[in-house]
Amino acid sequence: SSGINAEYGSRVLAGYSHDSSDSREDCSGGVSTGAASIAIGGNNGIARGANVIPVKVGCSQSVSSSALSRGLQWVEQRLSSAPGHRAVILLTFPLSSVVTELNRLAEDHLVVVPAGDSSSDHCGYISAADVVGMMVVAASTSTDKQSSSSNFGSCSDIWAPGEGVRIAGASDDTSLVTESGTSYAAAAVAGVAIQNLVQIREAGNVAKLKGVILSRATKQILTLSPTAK
């Protein structure tokens, strides 16, 4: 599948691929297509006028650190060619390790990462110190409950809708499907971040963006499972 859905097709710019395939081709089973439609989709997305630059570092939810590192080096080079430009960087898979490039990018750009979908404490996979500059997102339901598959814990920063969400499908240019996962919750936060990016950039401090999003989030509303409290 192409991964280019009518939700945002003309706003997908040339990107990076770990192999010779088109960077815009979604080989992740539709996860990247769906996540992009939540973040920037023209009909169902949040930041509906934004562009997306795809960075394809693998074709599964398990990506090696070396492949991620090469992709992030490309992102660094791309951003360094536009001094002063700031970006929201969305990963559509959870981290089991953090590479140096990701931490460097997090110093000047907002990196949004899904907490993962193993129904367990995210801190069992990565330490809070490793992701302190990033926005780690767990998934909630439409009734403000913890999604049953979402990871949780102090290594996550925020909860966002990620269960039974309507997203663009990758089978053709117009399909819509219903899916669940923290990748889609992270995409929602990325969309909100993009909406606020211009405002924060004009204030001269992109580092404030994570704090702005956290301060605007609704507090003490989610019903958590006993293990997540």
| 211 closest CA partner among 133, 146, 152, 154 | 133
User: Largest Cα–Cα distance of the chain, in whole Å?
Assistant: 48
pLDDT 10s digit of each residue in the chain, 229 long?
234 555 666 788 888 988 777 677 776 677 888 898 899 988 889 998 898 898 988 776 667 788 888 999 999 999 988 877 888 999 988 887 777 888 888 888 899 999 999 999 988 888 888 888 899 999 999 999 999 999 999 999 999 999 999 998 877 777 889 999 999 999 999 999 999 887 777 666 677 888 889 998 999 888 887 666 5
- Residue 96 has a pLDDT of 76
Fill in the amino acid letter for 78. R
The pLDDT value recorded for residue 3 is 44
CA–CA gap between residue 208 and residue 229 (Å, rounded): 27
pLDDT of residue 190: 96
Query: Looking at residue 2, what is its pLDDT?
Result: 35
3-class SS at 78? helix
Phi, psi dihedrals of residue 128, rounded to the nearest 5°: -60, -35
- 12-31: buried (b, 16+ CB within 10 Å) or exposed (e) per residue? beebbbbeeeebbbbbbebb
